[in-house]
Structure 1
Amino acid sequence: MGFLPEFGNLFFTLAAFVVALSIIVTVHEYGHYIVGRWSGIHAEVFSLGFGPVLFSRVDRRGTKWQVAALPFGGYVKFLGDANAASSAADDAVMSDLDAQQRRHTMHGAPLWARAATIFAGPAFNFIFSIIVFAGFMMVQGVPDDAPRVGAIHAMPGTMDLIEGDLITRVNGQPVADLADYYRLADGLEPSPSVTYTVERAGQTMDVTGPHPIPARAMGIALQSAARDAGMETGDVVLSVNGEPVYAFRQLPPLVDAANGEAVALRLWRDGSELEVSLTPRRTDLPLPDGGFETRWLIGLQSGTFFDHPVRGVSITEAVPAAVNEIGNIVSRSISGLYHMVTGAISTCNLSGPVGIATTSAAMASDGVASFIWFIAVLSTAVGLLNLFPIPILDGGHLVFHAYEALVGKPPSDRVMGALMTTGLVLLGALMLFALGNDLLC
Structure 2
Amino acid sequence: MQLLLFVLGFLLFIGLVLIHEWGHYIAARRNGVVVEEFGLGFPPRAWGKKLKDGMVLSLNWLPLGGFVKLKGESDSDKRKGSFGAASLPAKTQIMLAGVTMNLIAGLLILTILALVGLPKLIDNQFTVASDTKISQQSVAAGFVEPGSPADKAGLTSRDSIKQITSPKGTLIITSTEQLKAATKSLEGQKVQITYEHRGQEFKKDATLLSRNEVQKSLSTDNPKGHLGVVPLELQVRRSTWSAPVVALGFTKQLVVLTMQGLGKALGGLGSTIAGLLTGNQTAREQGQAKASSQVGGPVAIMAVLWGGGSLGINFILMIIAVLSLTLALINILPIPALDGGRLVVTLVSRKLLKNPISRAAEERIHGTGMAVLLALVLLITIVDVKRFF
Q: Normalised by the size of structure 1, how large is the TM-score?
A: 0.60
Deviation at 1:369, TM superposition (A): 3.4
> What is the match of residue 312 of structure 1?
240
> What is the match of residue 99 of structure 2?
122
Alpha-carbon RMSD: 4.5
Q: Which has the higher contact order (CA 8 A, sep 6+)?
A: 2
Map of 1:4-403 to 2, 5 A cutoff? Answer: 15=7, 18-50=10-42, 51-52=44-45, 54=47, 56=49, 58-59=51-52, 61-68=53-60, 71-81=63-73, 88=74, 102-140=79-117, 145=130, 217-219=138-140, 221=142, 229-230=155-156, 234-238=160-164, 248=175, 249-252=177-180, 266-269=192-195, 273-275=203-205, 298-301=230-233, 312-313=240-241, 317-342=242-267, 346-349=290-293, 350-403=295-348
State the AA in 2 paired with 1:118: M
Deviation at 1:398, TM superposition (A): 1.2
State the AA in 1 paired with 2:377: M
Deviation at 1:65, TM superposition (A): 3.4
Deviation at 1:118, TM superposition (A): 0.8
Contact 1:44 1:64 survives alignment (8 Å): yes
Contact 1:54 1:69 survives alignment (8 Å): no
> What is the match of residue 194 of structure 1?
none
Contact 2:9 2:317 survives alignment (8 Å): no
| Counterpart Cα distance in 2 of 1:381 and 1:80 | 29
| Counterpart Cα distance in 1 of 2:6 and 2:15 | 14
Q: Deviations over 1:144-190 (max 9, x none)?
A: 84999x98x9xxxxxxxxxxxxxxxxxxxxxxxxxxxxxxxxxxxxx
Deviation at 1:426, TM superposition (A): 2.2
> What is the match of residue 165 of structure 1?
none
State the AA in 2 paired with 1:235: I
Contact 2:144 2:230 survives alignment (8 Å): yes
Deviation at 1:419, TM superposition (A): 2.0
Contact 2:46 2:58 survives alignment (8 Å): yes
| Counterpart Cα distance in 2 of 1:440 and 1:254 | 35
State the AA in 1 paired with 2:138: A
State the AA in 1 paired with 2:383: N
| Counterpart Cα distance in 1 of 2:117 and 2:132 | 18
| Counterpart Cα distance in 1 of 2:72 and 2:19 | 23
Q: Deviations over 1:173-220 (max 9, x none)?
A: xxxxxxxxxxxxxxxxxxxxxxxxxxxxxxxxxxxxxxxxxxx83455
- Pair 1:235–1:338, CA change in 2 (3 A): same
Contact 1:237 1:265 survives alignment (8 Å): no
- Pair 1:58–1:30, CA change in 2 (3 A): same
| Counterpart Cα distance in 2 of 1:365 and 1:352 | 21
Count, aligned residues? 324
| Counterpart Cα distance in 2 of 1:254 and 1:348 | 34
- Pair 1:63–1:298, CA change in 2 (3 A): same
- Pair 1:217–1:348, CA change in 2 (3 A): farther
Q: Normalised by the size of structure 2, how large is the TM-score?
A: 0.67
Contact 2:5 2:316 survives alignment (8 Å): no
Determine which of 353, 356, 367 is the counterpart of 1:410.
356
Percent of aligned pairs sharing the same letter: 23
**Higher mean Cα deviation, 361-370 or 391-400?**
361-370
Deviation at 1:276, TM superposition (A): 6.8
- Pair 1:335–1:146, CA change in 2 (3 A): closer
Q: Which has the higher helix share?
A: 2
**Higher mean Cα deviation, 349-358 or 44-53?**
44-53
3-state SS in 2 of match to 1:298:
strand
| Counterpart Cα distance in 2 of 1:423 and 1:232 | 39
> What is the match of residue 124 of structure 2?
none
Q: Deviations over 1:349-399 (max 9, x none)?
A: 222211111112222343333323221211111111111211111111011
3-state SS in 1 of match to 2:39:
strand
> What is the match of residue 372 of structure 2?
426
- Pair 1:122–1:32, CA change in 2 (3 A): same
Deviation at 1:421, TM superposition (A): 3.4
State the AA in 2 paired with 1:318: A
| Counterpart Cα distance in 1 of 2:195 and 2:6 | 32
3-state SS in 2 of match to 1:356:
helix
> What is the match of residue 195 of structure 1?
none
